[in-house]
Structure 1
Amino acid sequence: IVVGTPNWSQDVDVAANDPITGYANIAYTLHFYAGTHGQSLRDKATAALNKNIPLFVTEWGSVNADGGGGVATSEANAWMTYLKANN
């Protein structure tokens, strides 16, 4: 079961502080757009992972969250590195 979190599935740290219990098949979804969401969102993800909360990225993009702007190549690469390291 994949569960969303407040603020467009970005507050995974909040969910980690009060997780759903009693089930072994719960993961929390994380959404990011590289042009808008950088290290501060990765820090939230790390906080959740450090509490053994499973995360599953179900929506992401390499541009701004509003679809504007160009491809944020450097930040997208940072996200890919982070995701591979935390697979």
Structure 2
Amino acid sequence: MYPEQTKVTWESASQGSRIRKTGIVLRFIPAYRLPTGLESWLSELKPSQLKFNPSEFSKNDRYLVKVVVPLKRGGEKDVYYAPRASVLTKVD
């Protein structure tokens, strides 16, 4: 299990290409638990900041991970993912 603030990475596939994502663990989400039940502030975020449905549970253990994404017009924004625990790798 990764503690909070651990830097992790994982790969995801979308439209035929593989993308590596790197972010910071915010919390562990046990299987069959609603993310909004653990972190109510998730329901207040804009849809563009959420890359998963926080109102649905998963049969897999997951982590809530924050990824900082650079914006084309400058600056950056926080985006939140909930990848399966089994796909994460700690970054040294």
TM-score normalised by the chain length of structure 2: 0.25
The structure whose residues are more often strand, as a share, is 2
Structure with greater proportional helix content: 1
